[in-house]
Chains A and B, each alone.
Chain A
Amino acid sequence: MFWKYGLFCSIFAGSIWGAFWQIIFTMVGILTFGIPLELDVNQMLIIGLVSGIFYINFQRIISMKIHLTAIFTMTLLVYVFNFGKPYQINESLNNINIFILIFLTSAVTWISINFSLNKISIGKLSRYDLENFYIKLMWGLGLIIFILITLIPFYIMIMTSLKNQQSLILNPLDFSLNINSDFKTLFNSYIELFTDFNFHLFLINSFFVSCVTVFITLFFSIPGAYALARLRFPSKKLFSSSVILIYLIPSIVLVIPLYAIFSQIGLRNSLFALIIVYPATTIPVALYMLRGYFSSLSSEIDEAALMDGLSRVQIIFKIAIPLSKPAIVSVGLYVFMIAWNEFLIAFMFLDDPSIFTLSRGIISLNSSEVPQQHLMAGAVIATIPVMIIFLYLEKFLISGLSTGGVKE
């Protein structure tokens, strides 16, 4: 079959990489220069295809000189294809920039082709080599696509928050930042959020609610998890599985009765209400995670401590907690993130702007009167603490897993 031949692989990889990088770099060009560029997938597809065939034939004799010649030839071909006017640009301005863009597209396409077709012979391939080729191709494409789709919304979020209203309306695609502009104009949205929109209050409220939630959750779930992991009591199994079940109950099912009851007792529009509700949703999660960790610790230490006359409560404080510090820290941070990110209950319960949490505050920015960049600046403010915690969480998760109980 024809697709089992190296020649077909080279055509396939060449055209795919050509088209792929043409799309990506056209977008990059539009975003960095802020000018309309015509997307022409076909030209680079054909150039990539030819380069693929060229590479697979001459890969044995290839040298640095040939690499450079190939890239320049590809760049030149783009100009030839477009009669000297690539991207359909009529004005002659920014010709250097366009050249650099085309050169980069060619270079990256050439490097990708090198990577994909490395050590592939032109003739019929073995099944192993063939599959390896396709996997390598998919791996490369997959990695780039994953990184791009993950980052783009965050990139837009940050860049939008740094723009001003006029430039956003004039050209939504112009994400080139004016680096010469001073701090005040660049961070204007952030400054306004803190001076005019009470974001300092929202930050304090969110921190307060999240920290109290973490404290209450850990205070109750550590002893509970220890009991579930170590002590023998009837219907323990049932209890453990009902913990997971309760974790599965969504807050949308609970929000109406909670709203009704809290309204009637006059607790609804207060931070205290959040402090009551949040731990109830996080304790089952924490209990489940900590129970798993406590069970993974060897029970020999506990038994030895019991022999030495320590009570169970003393064991919790003197042995279980110190031994599982990394786990407790990561559970605590996880609970903090849940409370920080929570939106539904805060949205339903809080009416008074002075007690808004960040999520609730950002919702109030989502109106036609507040400009987009304020909304995005609010989103950045809400995201940064979570990102910082996440960097710690990753570290603790690894150390939590690697710290064993008894060293044998």
Chain B
Amino acid sequence: MFNKSKKNESKLHQKERKLAFFLLFPTIFIVLSIVIFPLLANFWISFKPISLGDLRPPELIIKENLRGKLINKDETAEIHYRYRNSSAKYDLNNVIFNDKLPKGFTIKKIEPNNTCEIKDKNLTCNLEKVPAKSSGKIILEIATNDYWQKSKDNPKNTRPTTSYQSKNILTSFEFTFDNFKKVFSATEFLQVLKVSIYYTIFGTAGALLVGLFAAQTLQKSFKGRTFVRGLLLFPYISPVIAVAFSWVILFDPFSGVVNSMLLQMNVIDKPINFFGQKYTDISVFGYIFKFPLALSMVIAFEIWRYFPLSFLFILARMQSLPEDVFDAAEIDGASPFQQFYYISLPFLIGIISILFLLRFIWTFNKFDDIFLLTGGNAGTRTFTVNVYEQAFAISNLGAGAAVAVVIFTFLLVFSLVFIKYSKKEAF
């Protein structure tokens, strides 16, 4: 009896296991093919000397020209086929060239005649190899015959066809360390690292602090609180493209509201290019120091856009805090700051540290915001913007992929820390 039920249960387990696999299979498949596979492909590309132009496979480009006039019978003319390898890097191999000639011609001469032959008006040339950048010519001397006078075929009516093989740089086994050398040796590497770290730390901490402050503000109940709560989430949910461009226009040096306002109130005497100026001199008690203006603006945008997320999570956690704890503290004579410091904060520290780690990772990975605000200029180039810069602006895909590998390495370290802590907090 006992045995039987155990057997049944294990059967049930097996069935469940199969079903679970069946239900999760599509997800696993999609994630493997669109996330994990490209991730590995990124490693592969980072070791390859590949530029944006190499993605277009090398082609044999052919131009056909007719030289001479064909009016009457027995007139001769020449057909010139000029071919060219479109790639500057890669050879074309096993190149075979075909063209069909109209009936109305007789062929007199083929140049070069060792590679070409004609069978039933079919011209076939075995060009074997067309090296990179090189070009060549096939010349056909033709004469019109009786049939031509009736048909008046133009020899250019039939397009030549070709077949060839070329090396695909993506799948070849050609590797190089140049991309990583380039990424690490460049003087800008340290600069990019510095900017990334500043951006990540100040962006994350700022958004968290502002979020915490906003949550404290909305903790107290007042008329219209739900409305304000919804309002404060606007920056987070709006399309990044919309809010980033409205910031750019708001701070525009020529027609922006902020600059005009400051000018009219006599706070500044000439407009400030907020997103285009790397440093601005600020004097504090006679000391003049360089303030990284564009970077600070980008960080301010990051804080503005993402404080709602922290705010929402912290507020939700605060509202799950039982009221009577505060009532008891009130009776014991605890002051508001004491209540915050000794009751709320210890309760919130879990969610705050999780939010910090999560936001830290996301801020480090942030691309859209900086790209739309400054395009990575004026001292705001982080690693993510550098991926775009290397791969698509300088067209060096390999170097871009190498930067992406650097980002992924950082990400891996952060994630390990995150997992270690999130287990404690049961996120």
- With beta carbons under 8 angstroms apart, the residue of A223, A236, A276, A366 that contacts B245 is A366
Q: With an 8 A cutoff between CB atoms, is A111 at the interface? A: no
B404/A252 in contact, CB under 8 A: yes
**A343-395 contacts to B (CB < 8 Å):** 343-344, 348, 358-359, 362-363, 366, 372, 375-376, 378-380, 382-383, 386-387, 390-391, 394
A257/B41 in contact, CB under 8 A: yes
- With beta carbons under 8 angstroms apart, the residue of A135, A233, A249 that contacts B35 is A249
- With beta carbons under 8 angstroms apart, the residue of B31, B235, B260 that contacts A150 is B235
Q: With an 8 A cutoff between CB atoms, is B335 at the interface? A: yes
- In the complex, what distance in Å separates the CA atom of A303 from the CA atom of B56? 57
Q: With an 8 A cutoff between CB atoms, is A62 at the interface? A: no
Supposing A38-B265, A276-B34 touch, asked if A127 and B335 sit within 8 A by C-beta, the answer is yes
- With beta carbons under 8 angstroms apart, the residue of B21, B232, B246, B400 that contacts A379 is B246
Least CB distance from A97 to B in Å reads 16
Q: With an 8 A cutoff between CB atoms, is B230 at the interface? A: yes
Q: With an 8 A cutoff between CB atoms, is A81 at the interface? A: no
**A88-145 contacts to B (CB < 8 Å):** 127-128, 131-132, 135, 139, 142-143
Residues of B within 8 A of A256 (CB): 42, 45, 387, 391, 397, 400-401, 404
B266/A38 in contact, CB under 8 A: yes
B336/A131 in contact, CB under 8 A: yes
A157/B246 in contact, CB under 8 A: yes
Q: With an 8 A cutoff between CB atoms, is B349 at the interface? A: no
Q: Which residue of B lies closest to A127 (CB)?
A: B335
B238/A383 in contact, CB under 8 A: yes
- With beta carbons under 8 angstroms apart, the residue of B366, B397, B415 that contacts A245 is B415
Q: With an 8 A cutoff between CB atoms, is B220 at the interface? A: yes
Q: With an 8 A cutoff between CB atoms, is A340 at the interface? A: yes
Least CB distance from A114 to B in Å reads 16
B31/A250 in contact, CB under 8 A: no
Residues of B within 8 A of A30 (CB): 261, 264-265
Residues of A within 8 A of B264 (CB): 30, 36-37, 173
Residues of B within 8 A of A248 (CB): 361-362, 365, 411, 415, 418
Q: With an 8 A cutoff between CB atoms, is B256 at the interface? A: yes
Supposing A149-B304, A256-B387, A376-B245 touch, asked if A172 and B260 sit within 8 A by C-beta, the answer is yes
A224/B24 in contact, CB under 8 A: yes
- In the complex, what distance in Å separates the CA atom of A27 from the CA atom of B247? 18
Q: With an 8 A cutoff between CB atoms, is A234 at the interface? A: yes
- In the complex, what distance in Å separates the CA atom of A224 from the CA atom of B22? 9
Q: With an 8 A cutoff between CB atoms, is B237 at the interface? A: yes
Residues of A within 8 A of B50 (CB): 260
Residues of A within 8 A of B228 (CB): 143, 146-147
Residues of A within 8 A of B36 (CB): 246
Supposing A30-B265, A256-B400 touch, asked if A154 and B234 sit within 8 A by C-beta, the answer is yes
Least CB distance from A341 to B in Å reads 4
Q: With an 8 A cutoff between CB atoms, is B170 at the interface? A: yes
Least CB distance from B87 to A in Å reads 15
Interface string of B389-409 (1 = CB under 8 A from A): 001100001001100100110
Q: With an 8 A cutoff between CB atoms, is B214 at the interface? A: yes
Majority SS of interface residues in chain B?
helix
Q: How large is the interface on A (under 10, 10 to 19, 20 to 34, 35 or more residues)?
A: 35 or more
- With beta carbons under 8 angstroms apart, the residue of B170, B217, B265 that contacts A146 is B217
Supposing A131-B336, A150-B231, A343-B368 touch, asked if A228 and B24 sit within 8 A by C-beta, the answer is yes
Least CB distance from A153 to B in Å reads 4
Q: With an 8 A cutoff between CB atoms, is B380 at the interface? A: no
Which of these binds chain A: B11-19, B197-205, B279-287?
B11-19
A254/B400 in contact, CB under 8 A: no
Residues of B within 8 A of A380 (CB): 242
Which of these binds chain B: A183-191, A193-201, A278-286?
A278-286
A343/B240 in contact, CB under 8 A: yes
Q: With an 8 A cutoff between CB atoms, is B343 at the interface? A: no
Least CB distance from A338 to B in Å reads 10
Residues of B within 8 A of A171 (CB): 260
Supposing A151-B231, A153-B243, A257-B41 touch, asked if A233 and B17 sit within 8 A by C-beta, the answer is yes
- With beta carbons under 8 angstroms apart, the residue of B235, B241, B267 that contacts A363 is B241
The tally of residues in B whose CB lies under 8 Å from a CB in A reads: 90
Interface string of B255-273 (1 = CB under 8 A from A): 1110011001111000000
B170/A260 in contact, CB under 8 A: yes
Q: With an 8 A cutoff between CB atoms, is B90 at the interface? A: no
- In the complex, what distance in Å separates the CA atom of A337 from the CA atom of B387? 26
Residues of B within 8 A of A341 (CB): 238-241
B245/A227 in contact, CB under 8 A: no
Q: With an 8 A cutoff between CB atoms, is A226 at the interface? A: yes
Q: With an 8 A cutoff between CB atoms, is B76 at the interface? A: no
B365/A252 in contact, CB under 8 A: yes
- In the complex, what distance in Å separates the CA atom of A246 from the CA atom of B37? 12
- With beta carbons under 8 angstroms apart, the residue of A128, A259, A375 that contacts B249 is A375
Interface string of A152-184 (1 = CB under 8 A from B): 111011001000000011011100000000000
B239/A27 in contact, CB under 8 A: no
Residues of A within 8 A of B27 (CB): 220-221, 224, 283, 287
Q: With an 8 A cutoff between CB atoms, is B195 at the interface? A: no
- With beta carbons under 8 angstroms apart, the residue of B233, B234, B255 that contacts A169 is B255
Q: With an 8 A cutoff between CB atoms, is A323 at the interface? A: no
Residues of B within 8 A of A142 (CB): 213-214, 216-217
Residues of B within 8 A of A80 (CB): none
B31/A246 in contact, CB under 8 A: yes
Q: Which residue of B lies closest to A222 (CB)?
A: B23
Least CB distance from A99 to B in Å reads 20
Residues of B within 8 A of A149 (CB): 304
Q: Which 3 A-B pairs have the closest CB atoms?
A: A280-B34, A250-B365, A379-B242
22 contacts between A and B (CB under 8 A): A30-B264, A128-B335, A139-B217, A142-B216, A143-B228, A154-B238, A154-B246, A168-B255, A173-B257, A220-B26, A220-B27, A248-B362, A248-B418, A249-B408, A256-B387, A256-B400, A257-B37, A261-B38, A261-B170, A341-B241, A383-B239, A390-B230
